[in-house]
Amino acid sequence: MTPQTLQDGLGRRIEYLRISVTDRCDFRCVYCMAEEMTFLPRQQILSLEEIERLARLFVAQGVQKIRLTGGEPLVRRGAVELCARISALPGLRELVMTTNGSQLTKLARPLAQAGVRRLNISLDSLNPERFKSITRTGELQQVLDGIDAAREAGFERIKLNTVVLKGRNHDEVQALAAYALERGLDITFIEEMPLGEVGRERGEAYCSSDEVRALLAEHYRMIESTESSGGPARYVRVDGYPDSRIGFISPHSHNFCDTCNRVRMTTEGRLLLCLGHENSLDLRALVRRHPDQDEPIREALERALQHKPARHEFSVEGEVQVLRFMNATGG
């Protein structure tokens, strides 16, 4: 392994770090968490200074893209200031964020000014009652206003993320695509990932990316594309809408593990080597044990990466395979 390059035991270069800055969220989406949640006490989560230190270490080792997630990252006090410090790290190509959009009417412009280049905004329905049912607490208009604020704030790209669930929103695929395309936005349709016990059988709501594509093909002519945003999404262009892309994230039907370039850091400082496995490295313990030394952390990181699994083992049938919830993982 050469300096400033992270590589796992299978030769995959690790260039993308997802950081969960909080497990808390002002929504309670049905695919992300249980209705009644117990969140982590403050002393168990990484401080903003610890997050910045670890981000700096990863960038020095060759990570080029960092995504801040949650929970909802913007409910954590100091999140915008953290963005400004991370975006200024030498060698980082881009800082991006995934958000539910609830705070964007007041924070979209400060985020853009802090160096966040792209936003992913969750939008699972255009029907207010259905949106409330999926998010349990969310108000659709608040999110739509947030999307408008983001469009005016000057981000390089904005992408909508939709988790498609049969019986809840699969019949809105075409309407959601139209909403994005008419506004020059990207949209990605995501197969539900089986993380955490959410009080129902995951397979009951599973809708494959192939089914979603078939629905879209009834209205749009899609053109295959080799474009990549550095993550797991596969993109198509749409005839007549040159500014937009439609993406598909398909952990079940089109496994993307061969080209995985990602690791995830949870809000409590566990470095997850794979979304679909529990094996992890305790970075919180390392940064607190070595407050002034990065070398022991770098050495532990390089050792841990040699055990990054070849692939996840997600299944839409049977028992929950990963007990942690998506909000604790980093969406």
pLDDT digits (tens, 9 = 90+) for 24-47: 999 888 888 777 777 889 899 999
Please report the sign of the dihedral spanned by the C-alpha atoms of residue 108, residue 109, residue 110, residue 113: positive
**Edge-to-edge strand list for the sheet holding 94-99:** 222-224, 234-238, 241-249, 186-191, 157-164, 116-122, 94-99, 65-69, 16-20, 262-265, 270-272, 280-282
Among 289, 288, 272, residue whose Cα is nearest residue 328: 272
CA 148/CA 284 separation, integer angstroms: 37
Report which DSSP code applies to 26.
Answer: S
List the chain residues with pLDDT less than 70: 1-3, 194-204, 253-256, 276, 311-331
User: How many other CB atoms are there within 10 angstroms of residue 202's CB atom?
Assistant: 24
Say what the pTM is.
0.89
Task: Report the topology of domain 16-329.
Answer: TIM Barrel (3.20.20)
Give the orientation angle of helix 104-113 with respect to helix 79-87, to 10 degrees. 20
pLDDT digits (tens, 9 = 90+) for 236-265: 999 999 999 999 998 776 666 778 889 999
Among 92, 68, 63, residue whose Cα is nearest residue 78: 68
Please tell me the predicted confidence (pLDDT) of residue 194.
64
CA 117/CA 158 separation, integer angstroms: 9
The tally of CA atoms less than 13 A away on the side-chain side of residue 327 is 27
Please tell me the predicted confidence (pLDDT) of residue 157.
97
Report domain extents, the chain.
16-329
pLDDT digits (tens, 9 = 90+) for 268-280: 999 999 876 778 9
